[in-house]
Amino acid sequence: MSAARAMFEKHGFDKASVRKIAAEAGVDPALINHHFGSKQKLFVAAMRAPVNPVEIVQRLAAGGPDKLGFRIAETFVSVWDSPAGSGLAQAMRGALAQDGMTVAMREFVTHEMLPAVASALEAPAAEKKVRASLVASQLIGLAVTRYILRIEPLASAPPKVVVDSIGPVLQGYLTGSTVATIELGPGIIQPE
């Protein structure tokens, strides 16, 4: 696990490979694949994250765009309010503190998390990505404000209050007209 963490810290998420990590740890790549199943799952384990956020989002996204923002808000708050929350907070603090892990976290969010959100939407690819990254901005902000900095009154607000406040915003980012009417210039369209 420390070999995996060191590898992600050095190479980021994209360029790290199960094969390289296995070589570094002196074990068979098949063993790692057997235990973790994928680089995504290995990263989640290396970050000591107690849940796999990609799997959660994929499950939510499978329900389609209708009310997806509300479902994401509800699930996000219930997972972070659970005992798993402190592990997630530590994983996020670690990712923000070290340059190497910041890069790995960026690539993981960009290539594993955002596509899982975008998959639920019906829009041009570039617009889906803008919408998904806006959702990420509010969720990451909620995580930092409520669970890491613990800023009141948001930190102690009942889950329902938080979900009722954040849900409509996420839904707006996903399917609202505000983002849809934005002119998507070349600056915002990223290569696939």
| DSSP per-residue codes, 8-63 | HHHHHHHH--HHHHHHHHTS-HHHHHHHHSSHHHHHHHHTT-SS-HHHHHHHHHTT
The residue among 82 and 156 lying less far from its own copies, judged by its C-beta, is: 156
For residues 111 and 109, what is the distance between their CA atoms, to the nearest angstrom?
6
The b-or-e profile of 42-69 (16+ CB within 10 A means b, else e) is bbbebbebbebbbebbbebbeeeeeebb
Q: Rule CB under 8 A: is residue 118 a binding residue for its own copies?
A: no
Binding-site residue total for its own copies (CB under 8 A)?
A: 53
Q: Rule CB under 8 A: is residue 130 a binding residue for its own copies?
A: yes
- Between 76 and 105, how does the x/- string for binding to its own copies read (CB under 8 A)? -----------------x-xxx----x--x
Location of structure tokens 């990712």: 95
Q: Rule CB under 8 A: is residue 149 a binding residue for its own copies?
A: yes
Residue 60 CB, nearest approach to its own copies (Å)? 19
**Residues that bind its own copies in the complex, under the rule CB under 8 A:** 93, 95-97, 102, 105-106, 109-110, 114, 126, 129-130, 133-134, 136-142, 144-146, 148-154, 156-158, 161, 164-166, 168-169, 172-173, 178-179, 182-185, 187-190
